[in-house]
Every structure is written in C-alpha cells, then in structure tokens.
Chains A and B, each alone.
Chain A
Amino acid sequence: MKTCLVVDDSKVIRKVARHILETLNFRVSEAGDGREALDACLVSAPDVVLLDWNMPVMSGMDFLRALRDSAIPTRPKVVFCTTENGMAHIRAAIEAGADEYVMKPFDRETLESKLQIVGMA
C-alpha cells in the first residue's frame, strides 16, 4: 500500500483529500504545515506528499527546499495542491523540484490522474 502525507492547514481539505486517497488505496497521514511535514518525512518518508502552498510556520515552497536539502535517502514525490493557479507559481514550483501540480478546487479524477502521472496510482 502506498503512503501519502497530506500537508494543508485546512482540516477540511485534509479530510477531503484523505477520503479520496483512501479510496485510491493509499495509507494517509496528515500535517498542518511545512515544519510538521518535514519532521514527519525525517522520521518516515511517504511515497507522495500532497502539498499546499500557503501555510503558517513553514510554506509549501520552504518545505520543498528544505526537503531537497535534507538527508532523506528516498525523496518522496511532491505534488503541489494549491489555489495558487497562476503560471508564475506553477513555474516556480517546477523549478523548485515539484513533480506535479494540482490546482484547487480538485476532484477525485484530478487527483487520481496526477498520481498516475507520477507513477503512484
């Protein structure tokens, strides 16, 4: 069973994403900001991180850069999932190393499609 860490400061979004991911046969864990997510990855890296952009404490971009610079042996796939839907943000995410990008609002088909693209569904 693949594992996915959902990183979002919205409980509602985490709950919805969890529901979809569990129907896609993922084991799901959650973090409320980038710092929590980085700590979780250092303990046990998931297969995929579903990552919001704007969060308190540590943003999604700061998490991604920290993950890149960390000593985690197997880097998880990182899929941004954000309302930042402009081309400039998308380009910045790709340049920072994001594997895929989900523009909110999303549905089950969108999430499944993006996870297939990164080889996780």
Chain B
Amino acid sequence: MSAPSLDLAPARGLLPRASSKGTMGVLTAILEARTGQQLAANREWRVETVLKPVLRDLGLETLDALATAAQHSTAIGDRVADALLNQESSFFRDAAVFEMVADAVDSLRATKLNRRPRVWSAGCSFGQEPLSLAMLFAERGADQHDLPPEIIASDVSEAALARARSGRYSQFEIQRGLPIRRMVRWFDGDGVDWVAKTELVRRINYRRLNLVTDPPPVGRFDVILCRNVLLYLTIELRRQILDRLATVLRPGGVLVLGAGETVIGQTEAFRPSARYRGLYEPAVREG
C-alpha cells in the first residue's frame, strides 16, 4: 500500500536562498509589475519553494541569478510572475456560493430571458471554478434550454490558462471539493491524472486578462465571480477594479467575492445583495 503524503515544512536548507533583501525585492516587484499583486511578508517563504522548478529549468543556481535574468528577459520575468502567483484553488470552493449563483441564473430563466445568461469567472486560476459552474449548470438542466449560460473565464497567467484549457488535474487536485459522483460523471481517468470531458470544457470560453490593466470582456454580465484575487492588491487597485466590474454587471446581477473579501470600505459601486447572502449587487440600478 502506498503511504499517504503528509504536509511537510519546506526543506529550507536544501533550497537556494535569496541572498539579500534586494533579490527578494526584485522578484516581488516583477510580480507586482505584471499582475498588480503584492506578496505579503508572511508569504515570502513561498518564494524559494515555488521558484525552485524555474531555477532548475533554466539551469540557474541561485535566486540572485534568477532575479538578474528576469530583469533582462521578458519571458523569464513572465515565468517568475507565473510561479509567484498564488494559484491555489479547488472545485466548488465555498459550495453554498455555487448554489446561489445557479439560483441567480435560474431566476433569470424565470423572467423568460431572451438571451444567454452571462457569467464571468475573473481570476479562474487552473479552471476549477468555471468547471464547477459548468457542471452545476448542466446538472440543473440549464444547457437544455435554447440559450444555455455563457461562461467566460479569465486569468492573468497564460500558464494557468493553459492548465485550465487542458481540463487536466492531478489526483490531489481532483479530490479537492469535487464529490466522487461528479468526478465519475464529468471526468475520465488518464494515467494518474483526471481530465474533464470535452463536452464540459467546451462550455467555457477562456481568455487571458489582467484585471489591473486590461478592460473587461465586451458586453455585460449577470454574474461576476472575482474571488480571492483582490486581497493581493492594494486598496487603490481594488477600488479601481471593483468600479470597473460595476460597469459590466447588469442591473439585477450579482458579484461574488471570496469568503474573506468585501466591497465595504472599498467602493460605493456595490452593496450587499438582499437576495443572496454574502453576494453583492450594483448600488445604482438603471431603469
């Protein structure tokens, strides 16, 4: 029998150390310049761990060398930023949120909507969130309508999007939040990985989008999920992004943030939803 893996603290002594605050500063500045995200001091320990594969691939021995290379190469800088992004995600994270989103889409149906409901997963990481939405919509029969929901999923990281588009997950990833019956229904085993069925992945329109610098996707949305993204940004950037999201959320639409995130004190563009606990709606409704 295989032994289960246990959480182990990073073996710091075995890793190439950042030799100075200067190197750490350069690496975190690269992340911020490309994504707007800041690296909290209490997460700096991750830097050495997540950059180790990049060092290995590039044949570099120290973080100092990587920092220097990243300053002179856009491609290496992109790899550093991708590695430093916190891509932690899981299927049906905060399961009640997904039920509320599906309820919101169902309630649109009840209004005899003559267009496709539009849902945007902003900061989709490796794709667990949009796939969870696609599964839920399909199971609720939304796809059997003439106008099934449109799911747009975006992320700042091209590498994360490539993973998302592949629909491929490790044994550990597939077991985070995904009930076994759904796994059996919507995924196929492929070696040690599990791959989402094509019919599921094709329901999602993936695109690269930097929330800090790029305009939102064209058109307006009924639901926007932007979860556990804003917490890594400055207050000013959060406000700017929230205000931008408000411009593309339809009247009556809902905004979903992460469990530890809020609009309160960040923007006047949203207010807590009266219908869906923990979700937000545009503060100013149009006629």
Are A109 and B1 closer than 8 Å at their CB atoms?
no
Are B179 and A107 closer than 8 Å at their CB atoms?
no
Interface size, B (range): 20 to 34
* Partner pick for A113 among B5, B171, B175, B184, CB 8 A cutoff: B175
How distant is the Cα of A85 from the Cα of B7 in the complex, in angstroms?
Answer: 22
| A121 interface residue per 8 A CB criterion | no
Are A87 and B3 closer than 8 Å at their CB atoms?
no
| A90 interface residue per 8 A CB criterion | yes
List, in ascending order, chain A residues with CB within 8 A of B7's CB: 107-108
Report whether over half of chain B's contact residues are helix, strand or loop; otherwise say mixed: loop
If A16-B6, A87-B189, A113-B177 touch, whether A103 touches B1 (CB-CB below 8 Å) is no
* Partner pick for A103 among B3, B90, B171, B177, CB 8 A cutoff: B171
Are A86 and B179 closer than 8 Å at their CB atoms?
no
| A104 interface residue per 8 A CB criterion | yes
Against B, the Cβ 8 Å flags (1 = close, 0 = not) of A88-111 are 001100100010111111111110
How distant is the Cα of A87 from the Cα of B180 in the complex, in angstroms?
Answer: 10
Are B175 and A110 closer than 8 Å at their CB atoms?
yes
Are B180 and A107 closer than 8 Å at their CB atoms?
no
- Closest Cβ–Cβ distance, residue A48 to chain B (whole Å): 15
| A12 interface residue per 8 A CB criterion | yes
| A114 interface residue per 8 A CB criterion | yes
List, in ascending order, chain A residues with CB within 8 A of B172's CB: 107, 109-110
If A87-B189, A90-B184, A94-B184 touch, whether A107 touches B176 (CB-CB below 8 Å) is no
Are B180 and A105 closer than 8 Å at their CB atoms?
no
| B111 interface residue per 8 A CB criterion | no
Are B4 and A107 closer than 8 Å at their CB atoms?
yes
| B2 interface residue per 8 A CB criterion | yes
Binding site for B on A (CB under 8 A): 8, 10, 12-13, 16-17, 52, 83, 85-87, 90-91, 94, 98, 100-110, 113-114, 117
Shortest beta-carbon contacts, A-B, top 6: A101-B180, A110-B175, A105-B4, A106-B4, A105-B2, A107-B5
